[in-house]
Amino acid sequence: MKSIFYPVIVLTLWTLLVQIAIAFARFRAGARRQIQVEDFKYGESPAVPPDVCIPNRNYMNLLEAPMLFYVACLVLFVTAGVTHVAVVLAWLYVALRIVHSIIHLTYNHVVHRLTAFAISNGMLAVLWLLIGVHLASA
């Protein structure tokens, strides 16, 4: 079922949107003379204000655990293991990752952010459990 790729596309587009937010935050900070180009020579220097660092940190979050999500979706598709349950779990994972990002990029309440992050990781774990069951029964 190709439907497993719709949540993949949405999370990819969300990741690209966050990447645009990085550029926006950096250009805005540059225009305000809060940062210098050299502040990014080796990543982000301590001189970079937190509101400029957060979009980049969120982008990194979207390139870490979600890689396991992308691989899971590919494994499900290639092994003909896509089920309606797997697609629902994939959509829940994507929704929770977007919620995590929105919290991180706006009011950044750590407990709220952690809750969305932890539940999304639970969804990912269940998705991989489904893969294991599917492969063991094939």
Count of domains forming the chain: 1
Q: Which of 40-44, 83-87, 114-118 has the lowest mean pLDDT?
A: 40-44
Q: Kindly report the pTM of this predicted structure.
A: 0.94
pLDDT digits 0-9 by tens, 73-115: 999 999 999 999 999 999 999 999 999 999 999 999 999 999 9
Segments forming the whole domain that contains residue 28: 2-137
Helix axes 5-31, 84-105, angle to 10 degrees: 10
Asked if residues 77 and 5 have their Cβ atoms less than 8 Å apart, the reply is: yes
- Greatest Cα pair distance, the chain, in angstroms, is 60
Residue 40: per-residue pLDDT: 85
Categorize the per-residue pLDDT at 45 as very low, low, confident or very high, splitting at 50, 70 and 90.
confident
Categorize the per-residue pLDDT at 3 as very low, low, confident or very high, splitting at 50, 70 and 90.
very high
CATH of the domain at 12: 1.20.120.550
